[in-house]
Every structure is written in C-alpha cells, then in structure tokens.
Structure 1
C-alpha cells in the first residue's frame, strides 16, 4: 500500500466540503488502494529441499514460479532434499524510500515478516505469513497474512494416469492456485473503487479475512481441477488477527469456488490457460439484506525459461463480477435518485517480466478496474473506473546454486506506480467545485516512485 496516500485520504475524509457518501468511498478506495506485490521466495523451502530459491522461481527472489516450483506447491510443500530436517521458518525485512507526487518523502522500515513454512509430515505441509507493517510515524501493526495448510496424496495411479490429490485449507480464494496468476496468488490486483471479490485491492475483499477448504486434483501434470467453499471469519476473530472492522467482507453464505486449468511444460517453455469462478451471498454490513455476487474469470500464462539465462513471463487475468443487490438507497443530494440493483465490476491485469540470469529484471504491468455507472454509489462522476501502470527494475544477487548465499537473498528494486484514471476521469478526480479554495487532485497526483531493499533469510 502506498503510505503517502493514507494521511492524504484521512485529511480528505475529514473535509466538510464533501458529501458523506463521497467521503466514505474515498476512505475505502484510498486506504485499500493497493495490495503489496510481495509474494517472494521463501528461504525455508530452499533449505528443506536443498535447492536454491532460483529453482522454484523465475527470479531468484520471486515471485513467478517455474514448473518445478508449481509442482512443489501442488505437492503440499512436502518435497525434501533427503538430507534431514530443517527449520521451517524464514524472516523478511523490507525498507523503502518513497517519493510521492504529492506529499512528503519518507524513508523507513516498511515491513517485517515471519514465515512458518514447510513440511510437517510426508503428506502435510504449509505456508503461514505473519506480517508487520509500518503504518506511519514508526507505528507498527501486526496481522496474520496468507495461510495455506495442505494434505496431499502424491504419486497415485487412477485409470493409468499419474494423479495427485490434495486439500488446501486457506484464507484467500485463489491463493492456493499453483500457477500464481490469480490476484490473491500473486498478491497483486488493480487498484479498485469497486473491484471484484477475487481482487485483494478491492474494498472489503475476501483476501485473508475468510477461511475455507479447497479439494484439488492434478492429472498427468497437465490438468488441474479444484472445488471448495469459504466463510467469513467472525469480526472478533478478524480483530484478533490484526484486521480493522471497517474492512470486514461481510457475512457470506452458500459460497462456492471453482478452478480449472490446463498446464503444459515443454522443454524450455511453459503455458497455462485457466478459468476461475466464485459465487456467494453476502450481507454487508452483516445486518443488511443479502447481495448475490458471482465472479467468473480466465487467465493465460506463458513462460520462456530456456537455459535460465533469459526468462520471459507474460500473464493476463480477466475477471468479471455480477452483483444483484438486495436493497437500494437514495442519493442524499437527490432523494428521487436510487442506486442500481444489478451492476457489474471488471478487473484486468496484464503483466510482463524479463529476468537476466535470474538476477536482473524488469516488470511492466497494466491494471484496469471498471464497473457499471452509478451516480449514487460513485460520486462525483458515477464512474468507478481506475487505470494504472507499474514499472519495476530489480536486482537479486543471491539465491542461485553458485551464489555465496543460495538459501537467502537480497532484492533491490526501483518502482514507479502511476495512475492515468481515477473515479472515471483524469483531472479533478474528486470533483472539487471551483471557487471553494480546496486543491484540485488529478489522477497523476497519486503517482509514486519508490526504492526498496528486501532481505530474506
């Protein structure tokens, strides 16, 4: 999350010049604007398998998985190098120098993470991340991040086909997916004012605030099928795990999750195509009427691995959400104008990463979130569309077989995050009326440049 936006959002939310509905939506949009792209290599797995981080990841510090890394995740994090046990824990520290277009520059320790990850038995393994974030002024907040505990039965034969069967208990729909293209698996989705439930950057998203089980099967290493269900954690449990009550995803019922994908590994390439679905009835707030929500999406991934000197990965994710609201409300500025009862939200992410010798790389991403026009829900323009781009240059010197530190790593990165549209427009995105004396904010005023250093061991 770009920390420079938080104090700006708080000041704007307190402003008496804006309507209550507008202030509420801005608070939600700004404080939940981005999910950190922090799905990195976990050294605990490298120590367990005896393989360096670069065997599982296209870059030595992640995040994209190689076919070897995909198999490791499908096998329930249980594979070993046969050299005895290792400590199933790792630590990550992230420091960032931030230069926002509007606001003060900051240099601080932004995140400290503890990973409990690895094999428990031959058939049980897991991933648990406990995250501590700097919320400003050196105040730190600890929360339970992604969890994925698995039971897996490997090397089975069914009808003459190689088969893997497993169950994943996790707290983020899509995080269990081994391909890593879905938003929760990548910890990366379009900044959204009204995004889909499967997008961790959406207001009141499901990520890390639900609990569920997904049963999956893999046939001949090519066909993946998964089905599961989720329920929202009680608000008191969310608070115990470090989450704010205002981010509650609501009360869920009848939730179903489906994932189908085809994966094909060639000699030096990998390709996958998949579909994902989520359907639920939600009460938000929990005493409200039920809304019917259905997400349907597809994703495409191509990876050129070669001899690992030059690795290119291209991915595209497209998710459409249909919502039937159980109730409507009138606009405070026009009592006869009601919200729409049937609307849609649409999230798309296109990403390209090139890595040289699994150490030097560049990531380019285009992120777009759109939705049905509704002048009551999305003042001042009635359009929730947001478009943004990400450019990251990175260097990870370790984590490879011939490295001084094959089971630990350092990553230096320079990132430019820019907005081209917010609230459906490029200029005056909050609709400040002329002559009121309030500053006009354009989409590009939300841009941010940062330099970060991450270390994992």
Structure 2
C-alpha cells in the first residue's frame, strides 16, 4: 500500500485487527484470493463493507494484485422459496405458480480486482442470468483508475470511474445500489412507486470522478460527480436490458460524505442526488419531464472480534415536474412529490449468525393518472404510499472454511419475512379489486452461494 495512504489506513486498523481474528469468510472469493485476507476483513456478512472494505474500493480494487489472473474470476447463485400470504391469480411470474414457488433467481459471473495495479486500475464487473426473466444481462459494473495524492500534508485519493448504476460506486451501504434488501425476492408483488435513484441501474452508463481527503487520520471527506447517458437501443438489447431507457441528455449524479472513525467504530453522514429528464411513456423524442432527487444518508458501525453492528438510514425526496406528460393527459397534476425512507439495523455474531431489521416507507401526493386502480398492482386511491417491515435471519455455515472439495466456497442461508401495513396507498382493498396490503406479506428463504 502506498505510504501516503498509511494515515488513512490507521483509521481502519482497529477494525481490521478485529476482523482478521474472526473466522474466515469468502464473500466474493476473487477479492479474497487477490488480497490474501478473509472476506470478513472487508464485509459484515456480505455485501456490507467494513472500513477496510471501503478503503479497498476507494483505492480501485487493486490491493494485493497486479494484473488479471484466474483468481480474479468468481461466480455466485441465489436460490429461494417464495410464500405469499395470499395467492396471485395467474402466477407470481411467467412460468411460475400462484404461490409456493421455487426459483434460482440469479446466477452471476464476476471479474473482481486489479486490471493494472501499477497505475491503480481495477474493476468490479458482473454479468447475471436472471432465472425468473430467463435472460442474461450486464449487472453492476465499476471500473476505476485511482491515484494517491498529498494535499498540504494530508493523504488523499482521486479517481475516475466508468459505471452503470448511480450509487454503485458508493463506499457505504445506504444508496439503493448496495442498500437493503441485499437479496430482493423477484417473485414478490412489487409496489408501484419508486424514486429515479432506485430505477436507473444497468439502463445507463456513465463516467465520473471522485476524491477523498483525510483531514485527520480519523476524519475523511469524500466527494463524487458522475454523468450518465442512456444506452442506445441496439446496445441495450445486446446487454440484455433493452429497450433504451427513454432519457434525454445527461443525468448528473453527485455525492458528498463525511466519515469519522474511532476505536472499533465509524460514523458517516452525507448527501446525494441526481437530475433525470425522461421522455413521457411511449415517447423517445420531443419534450421531457424532470425528476430531481435529493437525499440524506448516515451509517454507524461497531465491529469487534465477536460482534458486528451496522446501522443505515437513507431519506430521498423527489420533485416530479411533468412538463411533457401533463399536457398529454398522462398525469393528473403538473407536479408531484415522492419520498422514500429506509432504516436498517444489522447485527452479526462471530461472523456466523446474523439478524437484520428494516423499515421502508414510500409516500407522496395523490395522482390518479399515475397510480390508477388495477388488480394486484393498482392503487385504488391514487396514492403511492407503501410501508413495509422486514426481518432477516442469516447463517453462514462455512465461515471456518468451505467444504473439502471447494475450500474457497462461502454461503449465506437466509430467511426474510416482510409485512405490509400499507401497500399502494391503502391497507384494505388497495387495488380496487379486493386485495389487501397484508395479502402481499411474503416469506422468502433460500441460499446465496459464492465460489
């Protein structure tokens, strides 16, 4: 590691010393193979990052590497069983029953690590076969060029990134790209509303720049700016995410954060946002609407040999300006507002047994043209409001080493229970066809394998 970064590393050393003494875990085995560290050094379970994991990402994924080797390739699969409180007429998805469904919902291949370490060039590249949609697509991708600097005697890093998801570059597990749910159930009934920040992944590509400055060994400032464009139609189809997203011009994304570390703990507070200019539904030219997202986030972590606690909060406010859709009669209002709040608390004991509790709330003003009544997926009162509580239990069976035939394998056995007090605006008869919010309560259990 570059000497100039040593003062930054000092802030991570108390945490690293603790996790290195914990049982070994291999979340993405390619990173563990490159660094020679257990993945518990970088992760609280997975995919949540520790202080050392954030530093590894900040430096461009190059620590312990040089150029690509076979050890930089890895794979994972997620398989599960879905049970809803009430059946979904017609099936949970194409080729699936109305309830009690088994699925191998995701199988991914990765390249993870150094591309050319002497200049700080590294990558996280994921390609995924969606077992529910029966389609292969490019997934989260972040290719970085990072360099250390000295600014008035303070260690710093600057970097460039090519990526395909606003927030996938983030060091903290608060933005939607890496936030909870870590394993969403693709067969569950999804609510109607969502902010733009949550819905652009893989449909865009962008270039960005970021920088960090350690004003003290314990205090870091971070800033990032990225600019995204929609994928051309032929490229989108080739990458498995077609058709093109229908966005005009460039989407700016920005991120600022402050992190303070002490002992076995760290605290982060920050802000983020973007401006999206989509065409109205069904159009790819002409006037556009505008979505302006502004968010505040925070994270606290406490990590010892025995215990790991992580708390995250994210609030996003979206102003929706229907400059094109309203004159076409596609919205009932010229402007709307949407808010999203996610609160997550995770605890992991001995890197072996964990529990996560999450609250997610979406609310905004009524717009019956956007949120219309329809069986299962509709909003009878025209409001986007949805509230959910999720409890997740996790078990990591191979944190003391994988099976003899594949010692680098790791796994996460999980059980998620999500309840909906409010769904698409109402608790009872939310869709106008007799379905209640609690009918969409879902239990999702399965295994996440990485090898």
TM-score by length of 2: 0.82
Deviation of 1:401 (Å): 7.9
Is contact 1:143-1:243 (8 Å) kept?
yes
Return 64-73 or 381-390, whichever deviates more: 381-390
2:203 paired residue number: 209
Structure 2 CA distance for aligned equivalents of residues 218 and 42 of structure 1: 25
Structure 1 CA distance for aligned equivalents of residues 67 and 318 of structure 2: 47
- Counterparts in 2 of 1:166 and 1:192: CA distance versus 1, 3 Å: farther
Is 1:184 the counterpart of 2:177? The answer is yes
Q: 2:33 aligns with which of 47, 50, 68?
A: 47
- Counterparts in 2 of 1:357 and 1:197: CA distance versus 1, 3 Å: same
- Counterparts in 2 of 1:273 and 1:223: CA distance versus 1, 3 Å: same
Deviation of 1:119 (Å): 0.6
Correspondence list, 1:376-387, <5 A: 376-379=369-372, 380-387=380-387
Deviation of 1:390 (Å): 1.3
> 1:99-138: CA deviations, max 9, x gaps?
2222321223232111111111111101111111222xxx
Is contact 1:224-1:261 (8 Å) kept?
yes
Q: Secondary structure at the match of 2:40?
A: helix
Correspondence list, 1:32-181, <5 A: 41-59=27-45, 62-80=46-64, 87-101=71-85, 102=87, 103-122=98-117, 123-135=120-132, 140-154=134-148, 156-181=149-174
Return 349-358 or 77-86, whichever deviates more: 77-86
- Counterparts in 2 of 1:384 and 1:134: CA distance versus 1, 3 Å: same
Q: Secondary structure at the match of 2:178?
A: helix
Q: Secondary structure at the match of 1:48?
A: helix
Deviation of 1:253 (Å): 1.6
- Counterparts in 2 of 1:237 and 1:270: CA distance versus 1, 3 Å: same
Q: 1:300 aligns with which of 294, 298, 316?
A: 298
Is 1:318 the counterpart of 2:315? The answer is yes
Structure 2 CA distance for aligned equivalents of residues 312 and 362 of structure 1: 10
Is 1:426 the counterpart of 2:422? The answer is no
Q: Secondary structure at the match of 1:427?
A: coil
Structure 1 CA distance for aligned equivalents of residues 211 and 61 of structure 2: 15
Q: Secondary structure at the match of 2:390?
A: strand
Is contact 1:48-1:85 (8 Å) kept?
no
- Counterparts in 2 of 1:56 and 1:338: CA distance versus 1, 3 Å: closer
TM-score by length of 1: 0.80
Deviation of 1:328 (Å): 4.1
Count of paired positions: 393
Q: 1:225 aligns with which of 223, 226, 230?
A: 223
Return 166-175 or 40-49, whichever deviates more: 40-49
Deviation of 1:177 (Å): 0.7
Is 1:394 the counterpart of 2:394? The answer is yes
Deviation of 1:444 (Å): 1.1
2:332 paired residue number: 339
- Counterparts in 2 of 1:303 and 1:88: CA distance versus 1, 3 Å: same
1:416 paired residue number: 417
Q: Secondary structure at the match of 1:226?
A: strand
Deviation of 1:403 (Å): 9.8
Structure 2 CA distance for aligned equivalents of residues 169 and 325 of structure 1: 30
Structure 2 CA distance for aligned equivalents of residues 403 and 263 of structure 1: 38
> 1:285-336: CA deviations, max 9, x gaps?
323521122110010100111x2311111110000111211234589xxx9x
Q: Secondary structure at the match of 1:71?
A: helix
Q: Which runs of 5+ in 1 are unaligned?
A: 1-39, 200-204, 433-439
Q: 2:258 aligns with which of 239, 259, 262?
A: 262
Structure 2 CA distance for aligned equivalents of residues 399 and 218 of structure 1: 33
Q: Which runs of 5+ in 2 are unaligned?
A: 1-25, 88-97, 185-189, 373-379
Deviation of 1:175 (Å): 0.8
> 1:190-217: CA deviations, max 9, x gaps?
9652321112xxxxx2111100111000
Q: 1:361 aligns with which of 325, 347, 354?
A: 354
Is contact 2:68-2:114 (8 Å) kept?
no
Structure 2 CA distance for aligned equivalents of residues 283 and 56 of structure 1: 41
Structure 2 CA distance for aligned equivalents of residues 344 and 257 of structure 1: 19
Q: 1:454 aligns with which of 431, 448, 451?
A: 448
CA RMSD after TM alignment: 2.5
Structure 1 CA distance for aligned equivalents of residues 193 and 316 of structure 2: 13
